[in-house]
């Protein structure tokens, strides 16, 4: 071995090991619906282009907290991993959003994850969004057909209406707008901006308009459109860019005309 080779080998042996870049997460956890929330910190190995879901999966594979203590894996929901299903909505650095599209490189660290507490917490980041589906039932968010025979192709919508109706149809009930709305809380029965927008969508459909009056009656009742405080938080957090405030204004107009017409008929 030459002197130069020996020197290089000695230098390699004494060089410090290369440090792996870490992602620091602070997660608000809750063991069950009735227990008290607490925070736990984790460090996971950084991978270029990783999202928050990738961080949670790394914790699931190796559930050890920042202090090196083994803990129960963090519970969360996911399905499509491409911002289509809405299941992975949580509060990330103070903003309700989809974990699958939250890229670590674009987030300030430490990354703080919390459940959407507008909804009852089941465990950790998993919440019960039943109130959203009850709201959809309330405004009859469907096209009524009995299914006993083939109705053939449905009535056509004018292209100008179809374009904006398609934008409303992109709602995937993720709950971000409900979480961001200050009028949706445990003291309120407000159905939320997403349901009002869906009422507009189905009222505009040639067949859905059959139940237009029932939807307007629902919006005039308890938890209806009059409980909107016009904070406009909803439109800012919607991952699909749905014009929720435009829908609320449109439905306000429909409800007003309907109420005046009902009063004049008395």
pLDDT in tens, 156-183: 888 888 999 999 999 999 999 999 999 9
Confidence of residue 17 (pLDDT cuts 50, 70, 90): low
Q: CA torsion angle for 79, 81, 85, 88 (degrees, to 10)?
A: 80
**May I ask the CATH architecture of the domain 22-127?**
Roll (3.10)
Helices marked H in 33-101 — which ranges? 52-61
Which class is domain 130-145+154-265?
Answer: mainly alpha
Summarize pLDDT for 215-256 with one digit per residue, the tens.
Answer: 999 999 999 999 999 999 999 999 999 999 999 999 999 999
Domains of the chain by residue range: 22-127, 130-145+154-265
Q: Tens digits of per-residue pLDDT, 101-151?
A: 999 999 999 999 999 999 999 999 999 999 999 999 999 999 877 777 777
C-beta of residue 147 within 8 angstroms of C-beta of residue 193: no
pLDDT exceeds 80 at position 16:
no
CA distances 56 to 4, 228, 234, Å, are 47, 35, 26
Q: Does residue 264 contact residue 256 with C-beta atoms inside 8 Å?
A: no
Q: What does 188-236 look like in DSSP terms, one character per residue?
A: -----HHHHHHHHHHHHSTTGGGGHHHHHHHHHSTTSGGG-----HHHH
Model confidence at 19: pLDDT above 80: no
- Cα–Cα distance measured from residue 216 to residue 258, given in angstroms and rounded to the nearest whole number: 7
């Amino acid at each position: 071995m030459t002197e130069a080779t020996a020197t290089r080998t000695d230098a390699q042996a004494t060089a410090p090991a290369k440090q792996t870049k870490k992602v620091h997460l602070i997660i608000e956890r809750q063991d069950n619906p009735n227990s008290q929330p607490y925070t736990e910190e984790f460090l996971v190995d950084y991978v270029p282009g990783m999202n928050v879901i990738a961080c949670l999966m790394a914790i699931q594979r190796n559930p050890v907290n920042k202090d090196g203590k083994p803990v129960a894996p963090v519970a969360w929901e996911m399905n499509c991993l491409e911002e289509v299903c809405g299941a992975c909505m949580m509060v990330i650095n103070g903003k309700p959003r989809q974990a699958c599209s939250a890229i670590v490189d674009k987030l300030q660290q430490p990354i703080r994850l919390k459940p959407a507490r507008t909804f009852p917490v089941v465990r950790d980041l998993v919440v019960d969004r039943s109130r959203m589906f009850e709201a959809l039932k309330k405004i009859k968010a469907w096209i009524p057909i009995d299914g006993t025979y083939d109705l053939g192709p449905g009535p056509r919508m004018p292209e100008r209406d179809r374009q904006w109706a398609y934008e409303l149809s992109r709602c995937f009930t993720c709950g971000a707008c409900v979480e961001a709305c200050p009028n949706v809380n445990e003291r309120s029965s407000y159905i939320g901006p997403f349901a009002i927008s869906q009422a507009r969508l189905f009222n505009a459909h040639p067949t859905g308009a059959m139940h237009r009056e029932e939807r307007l009656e629902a919006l005039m009742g308890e938890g209806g459109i009059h409980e909107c405080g016009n904070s406009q938080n909803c439109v800012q957090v919607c991952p699909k860019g749905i014009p929720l405030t435009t829908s609320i204004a449109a439905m306000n107009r429909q409800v007003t005309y309907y109420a005046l017409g009902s009063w004049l008929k008395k």
